[in-house]
Amino acid sequence: MASGELASLWDAHVHLPAYADPEEVVASARRRGMRLVSVTVSPAEAAPNLKLRDENPSAVKCFLGIHPSEAVSMPNGLEELSPLWEAADGVGEVGLDPKYSEVSARSAQMELFKAQVEVAERARKPLQVHSRGAEGTCLDVLDGYSLGGLLMHWFEGEELLERVLSRPRTFVSFGPAILYSNKLLRVAGRCPLEAVLVESDGPVAFAALGGVEGPGLVPSVAFRLAEVWGRTLEETVLQLSLNAESYLR
Ligand SMILES: [Zn+2]
């Protein structure tokens, strides 16, 4: 890396298939020297996501998964995904969220979550977990598996942070909400630098930031983390890049 040049930042969680023009999102990230981990919420997004990765192999990683919001509406979703797992770089976005439906032991969400964690374990692929409102239950499930890289995406379970950080090969990610949330600033301040990734969750838009969205916000997230950690932006970006590469390995 030439001096004065920033290491390449990874947006560790973005939904490229959810954009009207995902190619433009990728092109814009490439112009900034950024790379993207693109996740799916449904089997219908799988083929477009794989295509984006195949067309941009150095800039895009393709994760496949069925989101907890789709668990009840897609009883056959896993059958649709099963021939595609091998081509995926990782498994996500999967998880549990009581906002959408039941998350109890025999619920559709729980069955779907466990089946997809099993795929990640069997194939030794990195996993991305959505755990909003069910952080402890997600961790209870994950404890039953031997996983490669695990990302607890947009993790807000402050009281469970020690438990997350004591797991092997486990990362937490911060997104644009850290630009206005004191709680997330506090959580980030308690995280070891080597356990953190950054993300946009694009196209999720942030009302508190005037409705902006997308991977273009990730450098601001890195800048905020540099402030919290008392590091330079260059050091922080380098650390975040190393973390992403370690997670994706
Ligand atoms: Zn997401």
pLDDT one-digit tens code per residue, 199-210: 999 999 999 999
Determine the distance separating the centroid of ligand 1 and the alpha carbon of 106, expressed in angstroms.
24
What is the separation, in whole angstroms, between the first and last Cα of the chain? Answer: 21
**What does the pLDDT average to over 90-102?**
97
| Average pLDDT of the segment spanning 91-116 | 96
pLDDT tens digits, one per residue of 61-77: 999 999 999 999 988 89
Mean pLDDT confidence for 178-204: 96
Output the CA 4–ligand 1 centroid distance in Å: 32
| Residues facing 215 on adjacent strands | none
User: How many angstroms is it from 13 CA to the middle of ligand 1?
Assistant: 6
pTM for the structure as a whole:
0.96
In the predicted structure, residue 168 carries a pLDDT above the cut 60: yes
Query: Confidence band (pLDDT; 50, 70, 90) for 6?
Result: low
What is the distance in A from the centroid of ligand 1 to the CA of 1? 31
User: Within the chain, where are the H helices?
Assistant: 22-31, 46-55, 77-81, 108-123, 135-142, 161-165, 182-189, 218-229, 233-248
Percent of the chain with pLDDT over 70: 97
Predicted confidence (pLDDT) at residue 211 exceeds the cutoff of 60: yes
The alpha carbon of 65 and the centre of ligand 1 are apart by a number of angstroms equal to: 11
Give the distance (Å) from ligand 1 centre to CA of residue 31. Answer: 23
Q: Which of 69-78, 85-94, 104-113 has the lowest mean pLDDT?
A: 69-78
Q: Find the 67 Cα to ligand 1 centroid distance in Å.
A: 8
Output the CA 177–ligand 1 centroid distance in Å: 13
CB atoms within 10 A of CB 1: 10
pLDDT, tens only, 229-247 = 999 999 999 999 999 999 9
Distance CA 56, CA 85 (A): 19
Question: Is the pLDDT confidence value at 5 over 60?
Answer: no
Q: 92 alpha carbon to ligand 1 midpoint, in Å?
A: 9
**pLDDT, mean of residues 175-182:** 97
- The confidence band for 196, taking pLDDT boundaries of 50, 70 and 90, is very high
